[in-house]
Amino acid sequence: MKIIIKKDYDELSREAARIVKEAVQTKPDTVLGLATGSTPIGCYRELIKMHEEEGLDFSQVTSFNLDEYQGLPADHPQSYNYFMYENLFNRVNINPKNIFIPDGMTENVEKFSKEYEEKIKEAGGIDLQILGIGSDGHIGFNEPGTPLDSRTQLVKLAESTIEDNSRFFEKKEDVPRFAITMGPQTIFEAKKILLLASGENKAEAVAKLIEGPITPQITASVLQKHPNTIVILDEKAASKLKKHGRNSF
């Protein structure tokens, strides 16, 4: 695991975008795993800028999103489908046929989940997976207690996640209680992983991810075993690390 600590969110976002740009330029048909939430927005803004100003080409890229709320149609303003088009897809030249996002309205979640896994395999696996981390240490929607060997499935959201995400909805009661998410094992099988964390409210989760034991209670901790993970933090998110300072390792 390589740790990179940047001064602030803007520097973090630029570094993350640089790594994605390098992946796309090295392998134009790269397969990206994409995350939603507030943390990766800066990275996506930088990628849009690279596309507009430098001609960064997404025409051969394939993308798979980590998760989606159950019960929200694709055009719902708080769906992750809507989020991705608003914050990235509408602004770059990715082929819509190469965009895959879990279907929050599917009537057969088990069948959909197996098909989603199959599509990832057919694409050759995920080359670079972008992740955030929840305040309780989850990745995707893999809440504390999720078996680390599980795959894409329907999950019940923890109260802390509902609380965290309620800021995006008019009221807490509007936050969906279930989601479809890639499992920790699905995420772990990506060839390269890029986890981003910003802010003091993520510092404890980051410390447990990097320095704590590998445990289903902190699903992000499984990444300690991954052969090619980069964690990019701003100084506030890195503030509770004891063993690791500014140097990468």
Active site residues: 67, 136, 138, 143
Give the contacts of 12 (CB within 8 A, at least 6 positions apart): 6, 42, 196, 198, 232, 233, 234
Are 57 and 93 spatial neighbours (Cβ–Cβ below 8 Å)?
yes
Distance between CA atoms of 178 and 60, rounded to whole angstroms?
Answer: 32
Residues 6+ apart with CB under 8 A from 146: 138, 155, 183, 184, 216, 219
Angle at 21 between CA 18 and CA 26, to 5 degrees: 125
Distance CA 210, CA 137 (A): 11
Residues in the chain: 249
Nearest-angstrom CA–CA distance, 10 and 132: 15
- CA distance linking residue 102 with residue 71, whole number of Å: 11
